[in-house]
Amino acid sequence: MTDVMEKLKKRYTKMLGSEPPFFVDNEYSIERFAADLGTNRSYASKFTNNILEVSFPALLNKLRLAHFIRMKQELPHTPIKTLAERCGFKNSFSFRRAFKNEYGVTASEYFKKE
């Protein structure tokens, strides 16, 4: 791993601990991600694709879904739609599609299994 990518990885790890999480903003973009990493869009994209081995949109979905699951466990009576919006999903459709793609079931089915 190059020195640049190593630095980006350290900055990214630090970003993961930020409060509120950077990814809950539903307008969060690769440009803002690059700025938060202290680099340009090209390096940010290379970092997500080559180091994290995921596209930027897929990274956001993974982070948002993991956050959603934690929040749903902490706030079980809060409606799924409300939590999905708090986690950065723009609408119910994008949340449902991302959840089903990641876990193979809907959020309702997922939490019935637990």
State which CATH number among 2.20.28.10, 3.40.50.720, 1.10.10.60, 3.50.50.60 fits the domain covering 3-113.
1.10.10.60
Q: pTM for this structure?
A: 0.93
Residue 31 contacts residue 74 (beta carbons within 8 Å): no
Helix, strand and coil in the chain, % to nearest 5: 70, 0, 30
Residue spans of beta strands (DSSP E) within the chain: none
Can you give the residue ranges of every domain in the chain? 3-113
**pLDDT averages per 10-residue partition of the chain, 114 residues:** 92 95 96 97 97 97 97 96 97 96 95 76
